[in-house]
Amino acid sequence: MTDIPSIPHELLWHERAVRSVANLTRQDARDFLSLAGRYRIQTSITEYPLVDANRALDDVRAGRIDGAAVLVP
């Protein structure tokens, strides 16, 4: 096995960006939404105020939410 390369930890621990990435085409989205309407997909979200982001993460880790956690301003 090779050694794990070192990284500058100041870059790792000071990250402040939250990003969402979707790998799909417009046609993929159209197809999905068509199916979602046809099969009446039910979604479940739990909203958290942005100031409660740490509580949201704790709830996700502990499996206390069903669906997705959403942070709102």
Whole-Å CA distances, 71 to 3, 5, 10, 25, 37: 38, 34, 26, 26, 26
Question: 41 falls in which pLDDT band (50, 70, 90)?
Answer: confident
How many percent of the chain have pLDDT more than 70? 81
Q: Is-contact 72 49, C-beta < 8 A?
A: yes
* Residue that has been written with the tokens 């197809």 in this structure: 31
Q: Where are the domains of the chain?
A: 9-72
**Residue 10 scores a pLDDT above 60:** yes
Q: How many CA atoms lie within 13 A of 25 on its CB side?
A: 3
Question: What's the confidence (pLDDT) of residue 12?
Answer: 66
Query: 51 has which bridge partners?
Result: none
Q: What is the mean pLDDT of residues 12-26?
A: 69
